[in-house]
């Protein structure tokens, strides 16, 4: 049985207002009364960090929950400080790290010798620091993330935001008519996200017969081979096509795990419109939003139409790097889909599995 006395919660390392919403959902769903314990942020005169716990004696023999969104080197070091100190210095019973956005998510291929497998390294470091379990919202590659967690000895809990996106766009789908909507998968690896959303809204899927291997895009030998493997992997309970002509006169939903510069999404929407799509709607969980993303996704030159009919972003991290929340806003041109409920549900699953 869950009890507030068993847990100590720390946050404030990157994205506190989102973390607060997650904790509110946890308390409401479980009847707990958890709150964030205070962390003192300071710096010594020689520029050494003075970051520390306000009441470290609370940690001993309790389960520590650490919220973190380490999108900068400073936040990464703060996460390390909290986990190492909680486990090794203050004798926490266990440490759970909650990361709505996963660091190094794309550097996940040890076989690519010209690139350090930083996701694998990060999981090993988390365990070495003292973490016991990790809560995530839709990492880029769930299979690789699970493999690296298993290798490190970390329990992994993953939240699927499909339901939240489906609920958010259901009004749009009903207005357009389900028969006029398809979900697009730009390659084989994106099929799971596309199929899950299609099931949730009652639509079919159009998938491009490509796959990504070691950074290269390769086409399947033929369409029947692609479809057979696609259905064997993701299910055959809904209609799936790999014929681009099937997007003609349809409203297409592009379901992505993240958007960075927006250039890849912009190229894809051009291909879909060339194939006759009536409208294209972009749904992305993680708004990475690197420099210049607004110029790509939301052009404001006179006479230049925006590429997407509508854009829906999750709020798992701040948009961009170093921008204020206002600077990352768009005046309503992008609809925010709150991801905190699924992160809370996933955290509760992790908490319920903790044994004293």
Give the count of domains, the chain: 2
Query: Residue 70's closest CA among 57, 52, 89, 83?
Result: 83
Low-confidence ranges of the chain (pLDDT < 50): none
pLDDT at 213: 64
Residue 198 burial (CB count, 10 A): 27
What is the SS3 assignment for 341?
helix
pLDDT at res. 324: 66
Residues 262 and 155: their CA atoms lie apart, in Å, by 33
What SS3 class is residue 48?
A: coil
Residue 67 CA, distance from chain mean position: 14
User: Residue 218: its pLDDT value, please?
Assistant: 74
Cβ pair 25, 340 in contact under 8 A = yes
Domain of residue 214: give its range. 162-338
Shared domain for 189 and 83, answered yes or no, is no
Cα–Cα distance for residue pair 139/346, rounded to 1 Å: 13
> What pLDDT was estimated at residue 48?
87
* Structure-token match 């769903």, residue found: 29
Between CA 350 and CA 340 the distance in angstroms is 15
Residues 288 and 263 occupy one common structural domain? yes
Q: Are residue 213 and residue 301 in the same domain, yes or no?
A: yes
Residues 139-168 pLDDT 10s: 998 999 999 999 999 999 999 999 999 999
Q: Do the Cβ atoms of 217 and 187 come closer than 8 Å?
A: yes
Same-domain check for residues 105 and 133:
yes
**pLDDT tens for each residue of 312-356:** 999 999 988 766 676 778 889 999 999 999 999 999 999 999 987
Cα separation values, 248 from 56, 245, 276, Å: 61, 6, 4
- Where on the phi/psi map is residue 175: left (φ > 0), alpha (ψ -120 to 50), or beta? alpha
Same-domain status, 347 and 329 = no
CA 49 from centre of chain: 30
CB atoms within 10 A of CB 3: 10
Looking at the structure, tell me whether residues 198 and 124 fall in a common domain.
no
27 contacts 34 by C-beta, under 8 angstroms: yes
| Phi and psi angles of residue 58, each rounded to the nearest 5 degrees, phi first | -70, -15
Same domain, 239 and 130: no
Q: What CATH number did the domain enclosing 278 receive?
A: 3.40.50.2020
β 310-314/335-337 pair status: parallel
Going from the C-alpha of 330 to that of each of 107, 323, 326, the distances in angstroms are 30, 13, 8
**Residue 83: how many other CB atoms lie within 10 Å:** 26
Q: Same domain, yes or no, for 179 and 156? A: no
Which is nearest to 190 in space by CA: 239, 232, 141? 141
User: Nearest CA to 74 among 14, 155, 151?
Assistant: 14
Residues 134 and 262 placed together within one structural domain of the fold: no
| Residues 182 and 125 grouped into a single domain | no
Co-location of 229 and 282 in the same domain: yes
Inter-residue contact 356 to 93 (CB < 8 Å): yes
Residues 146 and 205 in one domain: no
């Amino acid at each position: 049985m869950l009890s507030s006395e068993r847990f100590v919660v720390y946050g404030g390392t990157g994205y506190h207002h989102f973390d607060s919403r997650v904790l509110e959902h946890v308390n409401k769903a479980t009847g707990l009364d958890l709150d964030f314990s205070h962390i003192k942020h300071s710096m010594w005169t020689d520029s050494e960090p003075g970051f520390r716990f306000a009441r470290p004696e609370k940690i001993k023999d309790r389960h520590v929950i650490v919220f973190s969104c380490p999108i900068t080197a400073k936040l990464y070091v703060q996460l390390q400080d909290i986990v190492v100190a909680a486990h090794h210095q203050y004798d926490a019973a266990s440490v759970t790290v909650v990361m709505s956005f996963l660091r190094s998510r794309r550097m996940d291929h040890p076989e690519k010798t010209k690139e350090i497998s930083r996701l694998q390294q990060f999981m090993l470091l988390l365990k070495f620091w003292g973490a016991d379990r990790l809560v995530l919202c839709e990492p880029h590659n769930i299979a690789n993330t699970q493999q690296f967690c298993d290798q490190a000895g970390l329990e992994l809990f993953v939240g699927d935001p499909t339901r939240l996106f489906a609920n958010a766009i259901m009004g749009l789908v009903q207005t357009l008519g389900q028969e006029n909507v398809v979900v697009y998968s730009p390659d084989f690896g994106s099929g799971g996200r596309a199929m899950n959303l299609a099931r949730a809204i009652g639509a079919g899927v159009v998938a491009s017969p490509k796959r990504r291997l070691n950074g290269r895009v390769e086409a399947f030998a033929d369409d029947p081979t692609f479809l057979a493997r696609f259905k064997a992997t993701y299910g055959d309970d809904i209609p799936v096509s790999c014929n681009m002509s099937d997007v003609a006169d349809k409203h297409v939903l592009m379901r992505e795990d993240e958007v960075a510069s927006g250039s890849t999404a912009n190229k894809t929407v051009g291909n879909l419109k060339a194939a006759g799509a009536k409208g294209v709607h972009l749904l992305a969980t993680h708004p990475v939003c690197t420099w210049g993303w607004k110029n790509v996704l939301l052009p404001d030159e006179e006479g230049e139409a925006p590429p997407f009919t509508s854009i829906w972003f999750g709020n798992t991290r701040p948009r961009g790097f170093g921008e204020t929340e206002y600077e990352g806003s768009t005046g309503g041109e992008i609809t925010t889909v709150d991801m905190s409920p699924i992160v809370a549900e996933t955290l509760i699953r992790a908490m319920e599995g903790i044994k004293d």
